[in-house]
């Protein structure tokens, strides 16, 4: 005899199974239901894990592990999301025929999820346009504006683990091709919830009358992105890795069109592979992810290593460094962000641009503010996430420390690892013509603006309540000093401000101008601390000492909060 909770989850799972069009997840779920009904506690626990909640459609869209269940990514969930988004678009454009352009990368089920979306959108009366093949996320973001679409959908989990996939939404019209923000996310989620509670995805109207975009869309992206190259061509010895993602085909076309010497591509990681066989975690920030790129760089004597993440919306750069065990040093997102921001400011000055804005997220380095002040440009801080950075009025350049850069906002309203790579290579060409290395450019930045050092402490938890406990502890018992430096101000951002919407974050301002940000991760079971220290260039050695001391204290605070 089963209790009410068991009976309920078995019923919910069976209802899900009855509308699942995917043979693989059907078999998986049938086995779980049978085992749970036979008294298997592990199977019952797994059903509860998959059906007690559902993936919510937030401002980052959907992202999760590919498995059966409402709390996972699968064809049922994607069908509900597509139908809900279609209803939102019809509501948003009454009396019109909305349009949507759909892209997908090389992850498992990406093309299936994209095709389901195209068919369901077309069946709902939406003009649906599917990109011609797997392509980078920036191409989809570009296509929304280029085609004048009402919305865009990108099927990708970016740099998540191989078992994951996701569903990212952009809006056209007044949103100008940016990712969704509140309140649109809540309105879309309400429509998705209605579809999920009242219908069967197998009964939703479908149509195969969707369009396949021509290569002219990709050609237009290539041409617009190649135009980011403004320096005279200089031969650069560069190694590139696509990290088993979709970047190489488009990046290589853009580089060739821009007149750049084609980089040496890491052959083992060049073609899309949903298994990501050579990396433990397909994220350029993760230890070991660039090992093959470093090996090829040592072999070829490369001057730069350029890496895109699997959907090519992020960029990582490494430069030669004999003191590093690999012979190369990966630049931080803040270092690349500061250099590209400096370049944007210089170009704006040369072009006579006035009133432009440099922007970055609140967890990114204050270095960009120093650049803006030196070049008489406005500076704006936004909440974490490119959906906020890309919407800043008057933007000429924006970035976030997690390897995201927007160097051509007139073309794409999202981070773009390909255009950022071309911009960085253009800068490298300019300086190489003067026999100046990127390492020397970093030194010149510190000499001009001061030395900015950043670090991040990321604490993964197994119990999500630990994150709330740490944030509550920091609010109730805020530190009076960090690393031996007094805390002179605390900004609690959960209530928002005139400049920022509410967000669960704390900013500690120290008497020497340093700062620490604390915030829960939006995509992983982690709490993150972002540490930023500024010193005059002749006192830069003090920065690493202070960062280490602050990191130790923050670990102790987090441990005390969860003891």
- Which positions are annotated as active-site residues? 158
β-sheet bridge partners, residue 64:
165
Phi, psi of 462 (to 5 degrees): -100, -25
- Alpha-carbon distance 199 to 1, whole Å? 30
CB 147 within 8 A of CB 129: yes
105 closest CA partner among 307, 285, 242: 242
Place of tokens 């988004």: 85
From 264, 265, 236, select the one nearest 430 (Cα to Cα): 236
* Helix, strand, coil percent content, the chain, rounded in steps of 5: 40, 20, 40
Q: Is 407 helix (H, G, I), strand (E, B) or coil?
A: coil
Q: How far apart are CA 534 and CA 523, in angstroms?
A: 29
What is the C-alpha separation between 134 and 62, in angstroms, rounded? 19
- Give the Cα separation of 472 and 528 in Å (integer): 14
Distance CA 173, CA 150 (A): 6
Q: What is the dihedral of CA 55, 246, 333, 434, to 10 degrees?
A: -170
Backbone phi, psi, residue 196, to 5°: -65, -35
List, as one string, the DSSP characters of 295-351: HHHHHHT-SEEEEE-TTS--EEEEEE-TTSTTSEEEPPHHHHHHHHHHHHHHHHHHT
Which pair of structure tokens corresponds to residue 48? 């509860």
- Report the chain's terminal Cα–Cα distance, integer Å: 40
Nearest to 516 by CA among 456, 458, 467: 456
H or E element: which one contains 365?
none
φ and ψ of 179, to 5 deg = -65, 155
Spatial separation of the C-alpha atoms in residues 412 and 104, rounded to whole Å:
17
CA distance 438 to 170: 35
Cβ neighbour number for residue 93 with a 10 Å cutoff: 15
């Amino acid at each position: 005899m089963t209790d009410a909770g068991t009976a309920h989850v078995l019923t919910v799972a069976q209802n899900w199974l009855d509308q699942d069009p995917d043979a693989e997840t059907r078999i998986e779920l049938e086995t779980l239901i049978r085992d749970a009904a036979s008294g298997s506690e592990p199977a019952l626990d797994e059903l509860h894990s998959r059906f007690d909640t559902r993936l919510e459609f937030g401002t980052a869209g959907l992202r999760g592990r590919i498995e059966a269940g409402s709390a996972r990514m699968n064809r049922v969930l994607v069908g509900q999301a597509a139908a809900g988004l279609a209803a939102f678009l019809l509501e948003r454009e009454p009396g019109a025929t909305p349009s949507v352009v759909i892209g997908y990368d090389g992850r498992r089920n990406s093309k299936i999820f994209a095709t389901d979306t195209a068919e369901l959108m077309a069946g709902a009366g939406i003009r649906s346009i599917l990109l011609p093949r797997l392509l980078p996320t920036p191409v989809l973001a570009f296509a929304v504006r280029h085609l004048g679409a009402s919305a865009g959908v990108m099927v990708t989990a970016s740099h998540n683990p191989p078992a994951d996939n996701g569903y990212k939404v952009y809006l056209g019209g007044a949103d100008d091709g940016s990712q969704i923000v509140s309140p649109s996310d809540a309105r879309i989620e309400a429509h998705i919830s209605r579809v999920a509670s009242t219908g069967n995805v197998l009964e939703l109207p479908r149509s195969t009358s969707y369009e396949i975009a021509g290569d002219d869309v990709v050609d237009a992206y290539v041409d617009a992105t190649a135009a980011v190259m403004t320096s005279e061509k200089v031969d650069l010895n560069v190694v590139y890795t696509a990290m088993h993602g979709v970047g190489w085909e488009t990046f290589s076309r853009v580089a060739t069109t821009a007149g750049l010497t084609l980089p040496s591509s890491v052959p083992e990681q060049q073609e899309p592979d949903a298994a990501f066989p050579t990396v433990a975690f397909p994220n350029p920030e993760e230890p070991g992810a660039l090992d093959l790129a470093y090996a090829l760089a040592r072999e070829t004597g490369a001057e730069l290593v350029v890496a895109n993440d699997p959907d090519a919306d992020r960029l990582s750069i490494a430069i030669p460094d004999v003191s590093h065990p690999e012979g190369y040093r990966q630049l931080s997102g803040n270092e690349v962000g500061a250099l590209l921001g400096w370049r944007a400011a210089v170009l704006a000055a040369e072009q006579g641009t006035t009133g432009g804005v440099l922007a970055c997220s609140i967890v990114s380095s204050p270095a960009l503010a120093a650049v803006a002040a030196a070049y008489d440009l406005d500076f704006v801080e936004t909440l974490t996430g490119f959906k906020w950075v890309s919407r800043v009025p008057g933007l000429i350049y924006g970035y976030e420390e997690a390897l995201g850069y927007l160097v051509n906002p007139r073309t794409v309203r999202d981070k773009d690892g390909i255009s950022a790579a071309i911009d960085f290579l253009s800068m490298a060409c300019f300086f190489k013509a003067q026999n100046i290395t990127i390492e020397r450019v970093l030194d010149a930045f510190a000499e001009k603006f001061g030395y900015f050092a950043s670090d991040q402490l990321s604490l993964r938890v197994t119990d999500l309540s630990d994150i709330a406990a740490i944030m509550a502890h920091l609010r109730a018992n805020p530190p009076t000093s960090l690393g031996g430096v007094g805390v002179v101000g605390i900004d609690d951002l959960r209530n928002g401000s005139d400049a920022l919407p509410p967000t669960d974050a704390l900013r500690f301002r120290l008497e020497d101008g340093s700062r620490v940000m604390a915030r829960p991760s939006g995509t992983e079971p982690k709490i993150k601390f972002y540490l930023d220290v500024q010193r005059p260039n002749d006192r830069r050695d003090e920065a690493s000492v202070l960062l280490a001391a602050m990191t130790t204290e923050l670990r102790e605070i987090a441990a005390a909060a969860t003891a």
